């Protein structure tokens, strides 16, 4: 049985495959979202709840993944929360759209690597709708693009956890956050590259517009999870 949520008001609908789509209207504290995700993950694994894709925004917070290095926490000006996901330190805050993706991989052909590849592709494809070319970078987790100074910069972060083949956490895309908030950490342990946003790139996009584009591409993302993970061609 699904426990009624005590989180801020949300808009709830469905995606293909009877997946619940939840869009929170107000910022959700990170600890509350983590508790909700953990509970829902267990319910999905037990066959007691529907899969969930949850779009939301957090108040400012630094989250620590399982590989976080304390030396990369430069200025803990905001609350620091151990997230339980893979990866290192990440910032979440106003102006950043977060998507938590709780899917049962037992129903799909993809493995963990394929799931992450699919998430990356979903964000990359959606960014093209706003005229932003982005890409994966070998050895660097996340979604990358060319910044206004011509250097590569991160526009989206990826971090997942899989428990009993049910996923949790997901990705965050910088729509219009205060980029100075990222200077309190070494984002994802990569200090030689910066972070950017749609706003910094000259694209003024509100959450509703971003969500509409992302949701429109959700069926293709979900369909891709039913196919074997693509492999690199030999050189």
Active site (catalytic) residues: 188
Annotated binding residues: 85-92, 157-159, 170-172
Q: Of 86, 95, 83, 19, which is closest to residue 56 (Cα–Cα)?
A: 95
Q: How far is Cα 64 from Cα 83, in angstroms, rounded to an integer? A: 6
d(CA 212, CA 216): 6
* Structure-derived torsion over alpha carbons of residues 181, 184, 185, 191, reported in degrees to the nearest 10: 90
Q: What is the CA radius of gyration of the chain?
A: 17
- Residues annotated in a binding site for substrate: 85-92, 157-159, 170-172
- Interaxial angle between packed helices 207-216 and 112-128, expressed in degrees from 0 to 180 and rounded to the nearest 10: 120
Could you tell me the CA-to-CA distances from 115 to 157, 158, 191 in Å, in that order?
15, 11, 26
Q: Is the dihedral of CA 59, 31, 82, 123 positive or negative?
A: negative
């Amino acid at each position: 049985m699904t426990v009624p949520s005590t989180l801020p008001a949300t808009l709830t609908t469905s995606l293909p495959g009877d997946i619940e789509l939840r869009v929170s209207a107000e910022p959700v504290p990170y600890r509350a979202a983590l508790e909700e995700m953990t509970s829902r993950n267990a319910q999905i694994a037990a066959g007691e709840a529907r899969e969930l894709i949850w779009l939301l925004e957090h108040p400012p917070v630094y989250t620590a993944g399982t590989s976080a290095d304390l030396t990369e926490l430069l200025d803990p000006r905001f609350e620091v929360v151990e997230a339980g996901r893979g990866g290192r330190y990440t910032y979440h805050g106003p102006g950043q759209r977060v998507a938590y993706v709780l899917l049962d991989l037992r129903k799909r052909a993809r493995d963990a690597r394929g799931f992450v590849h699919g998430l990356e592709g979903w964000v990359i494809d959606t960014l093209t709708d706003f005229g932003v070319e982005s890409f994966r970078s070998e050895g660097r987790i996340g979604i990358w693009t060319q910044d206004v100074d011509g250097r590569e910069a991160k526009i989206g972060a990826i971090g997942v956890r899989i428990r009993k083949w049910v996923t949790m956490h997901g990705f965050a895309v910088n729509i219009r956050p205060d980029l100075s908030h990222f200077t309190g950490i070494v984002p994802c342990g990569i200090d030689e590259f910066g972070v950017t946003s749609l706003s910094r790139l000259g694209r003024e996009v509100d959450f509703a517009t971003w969500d509409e584009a992302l949701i429109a591409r959700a069926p293709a993302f979900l369909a891709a999870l039913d196919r074997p993970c693509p492999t690199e061609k030999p050189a």
